[in-house]
Amino acid sequence: MSDVYTTAYGLSAGLAVITFLLAIGPAVSVSGLVLRKNIKSLNLRIWLNIILLGLIAILGILRLSFLAQLGVNGFELIPVNFALGFLFTLVPLLAALGLTVPMLLKLRQPRQSTGPTPLADQTRTALAAPRLVVPVQALLVGSLLGTVITAASTSQLLTLLAGAALLAFTGWQWFRQTRLQQKIKQNGPTASPLFVVRLGWRLVTLLIFIMGFLGIFLVGTATTKLPGSYNMTMDETHSASMTMAPGQKMVSVTDLTGPKDGAPDKIFTLTAQRAQVQLDSGQLVDAWTFNGQLPGPELRVKQGDLVQVTLNNKDVTEGVTLHWHGVDVPNAEDGVAGLTQDAVMPGQAFVYRFRASDAGTYWYHSHQFSNEQMRMGLFGAFIVEPQKPLPANTADLTVIAHTWATPSGSRFAFGLSTTGRKAVTPGSEVRLRLINANNSLVSFTLTGTAFQVAAIDGTDLKKPGDLSNIRLPLAAGGRYDLHFVMPDHPVLLNSGSADLLLSADGKGDMSPLVAGSDFNPAIYGQPTGETLNLQSHFDQEYTFNLGTGLGFYNGSFSSLWLINDQAFPNTPAINVKKGDLIKITFVNRSPADHPMHPHGHKMLVLSRDGQAVKGSPWWTDTLNIGPGEIITVALKADNPGLWMDHCHNLDHAASGMVMHLMYNNVMTPFLVGPTSGNKPE
């Protein structure tokens, strides 16, 4: 469905532009019919305009079919701006087909056997009729405004302004054309406007539209500038639905810490510093690192351990933090600059303390200028081993997928390796921990053995079955644990231009698998009797439409990624109290994947595109919603705090796709903004 939706999305947007370009022809040509010198010239222009309007009508039918394709899994998947943009074209198109085309056919003149025959005065008067000319002029303006609305983020104000502009233009042109027709009727052909006059009116009309767009641009840049510093949560948008129980007191995120007392079981120190690191291909990466390594050191702890990590910043001038991705730490340990702490600047340090309650595959990364700092290398694996040790003959391997920027271009790798080799004894249990540290979905294949997906985002699945000949699409920020018994021949893990070969001696060669289908967690494994489902009682329900469009953001005009047609900080918030059970439906109306990641909580997927999950309970903290997908999840509000919930394609988050999960009685003293030193995305 994702590919079909993306194709329909792109074609629908492209046809809006083509329609506008084609509409220029009739708008110019029909208004100039009154200037034709003879019947032959008139007839040629009439047929040309009928053909152009026919083509535009065909494009309209195609656009309607693509809109229907976008909504095949639900009308809510049709982007509102696409529907409105089509409406701005459709109404004047129907007017042109109902008024202009019949009149053009009626005004065709019989062929003359002699030379060129001049137009009769009665014909010339009819050629100036408003019902002939104005619909195609309105079609041009409507298709222009429709294209703008299609490309823009949905805005009621923009739609109202566009509607008013179209009505005003149509009314003005109808008035002008009526006067022109009356003059021609009274004064004959000499009343037909000169080319210079017609050009002048067109330039005036164009200037009015340019001034209108310029005015919108100036207002947009002036009114969307964010303050130098501001609180991400204590504003009208985010606190409007907060409800405080009688006697309930406000709590600061700084009070929601991990254990302050007791000797830690595991102690780590991570130092953020700039370094130049070499890939196995020989290419150099100018990186930001933890302890000079890419990726950062793998931190391994046991389930139940009290973990203490000291973060030092040596020379990363933008500041750094540590976010424990997928680990449900107390709020003060979550590492989000401007929400749970201030960024750690050069020469400063910050200590994180938390208990690793749940075994699984997790990772850590900076949550300050996340899009840039992740790309530069400030991340690493965080593995929580179960209390019951894995079998002694287990090969427990972590694979972090990432694309590095090198002087010769981007290079995708597993860690620093594009062609890794590892010796694994045949008969060994193998656990491959896949972590996607990219800003986009990564697909893996495993060649040479059947395997199981043992865990998703750190949560084990019940009775996972054997898989083969299958592709494993993994969300940005997501994790899969693969399990298999090492055969007596090589096994190849592949993802595009990177691979890891496992064999008895670390040698060998084999071709990657050409996968037949994609892994579907919704039908994998066995149910456990989980009582939560779509019919369960929920304390609150939310629907979030994920979209895109051009718009104004922080004083500039750019491409935005939106939640319910808003960019952060105007996005909606999930306001909860402890103990609430929340149902959230994500609707992806965009042509891109959106891996939604709520900090501090896991989601139970209930349904995907209207089909209830039938396999093992699918718990996730980084849920990929593909183009044209509708996914409904349940979330238990059991970890008080102020939590980010955002798209982990971090360039999307940086362009607006961020919201918050907010407990009613929690506040933050920290600020974001250019003068605050904090920028979590």
Whether the predicted pLDDT of 237 surpasses 60: no
Q: For residue range 636-657, what is the model confidence (pLDDT) as tens digits? A: 999 999 999 999 999 999 999 9
pLDDT at 457: 97
What predicted TM-score, i.e. pTM, was given to this entire model?
0.91
CATH architecture of the domain with range 236-255+530-667: Sandwich (2.60)
d(CA 24, CA 26): 6
Whether the predicted pLDDT of 288 surpasses 90: yes
d(CA 87, CA 338): 43
Per-residue confidence band for 223, with pLDDT thresholds at 50, 70 and 90: confident
Per-residue confidence band for 264, with pLDDT thresholds at 50, 70 and 90: very high
d(CA 580, CA 639): 11
Per-residue b or e along 84-120, where b marks 16 or more CB atoms closer than 10 Å to that residue's CB: bbbebbbbbbebbbebbbebbeebeeeeeeeeebebe
Whether the predicted pLDDT of 564 surpasses 60: yes
Q: Do domains 236-255+530-667 and 266-523 have the same CATH topology?
A: yes
Average pLDDT over residues 461-469: 94
Per-residue confidence band for 535, with pLDDT thresholds at 50, 70 and 90: confident
Q: For residue range 656-676, what is the model confidence (pLDDT) as tens digits? A: 999 999 999 899 999 998 889
pLDDT at 115: 59
d(CA 189, CA 191): 5
Whether the predicted pLDDT of 525 surpasses 60: yes
Q: Higher confidence at residue 230 or residue 473?
A: 473
Q: For residue range 484-508, what is the model confidence (pLDDT) as tens digits? A: 999 999 999 999 889 999 999 988 8
d(CA 262, CA 281): 46
User: What are the boundaries of each domain within the chain?
Assistant: 2-192, 236-255+530-667, 266-523
Among 10-19, 168-177, 625-634, the range scoring the smallest mean pLDDT is: 168-177
Whether the predicted pLDDT of 241 surpasses 60: no
Whether the predicted pLDDT of 109 surpasses 80: no
Per-residue confidence band for 222, with pLDDT thresholds at 50, 70 and 90: confident
Whether the predicted pLDDT of 235 surpasses 70: no
CATH topology of domain 266-523: Immunoglobulin-like (2.60.40)
pLDDT at 240: 53
Residue 473 CB coordination number (10 Å): 19
Average pLDDT over residues 65-85: 92
Q: Higher confidence at residue 586 or residue 179?
A: 586
- Calculate the average pLDDT of the chain: 90
Whether the predicted pLDDT of 239 surpasses 60: no
pLDDT at 402: 95
Per-residue confidence band for 190, with pLDDT thresholds at 50, 70 and 90: low
d(CA 395, CA 432): 8
d(CA 346, CA 392): 43
Q: Higher confidence at residue 105 or residue 193?
A: 105
Whether the predicted pLDDT of 205 surpasses 80: no
The secondary structure of 132-187, three-state, reads HHHHHHHHHHHHHHHHHHHHECCCHHHHHHHHHHHHHHHHHHHHHHHHHHHHHHHH
pLDDT at 305: 96
pLDDT at 666: 93
Residue 534 CB coordination number (10 Å): 14
d(CA 479, CA 326): 9
Q: For residue range 362-406, what is the model confidence (pLDDT) as tens digits? A: 999 999 999 999 999 999 999 999 998 888 889 999 999 999 988
CB of 454 within 8 A of CB of 482? yes
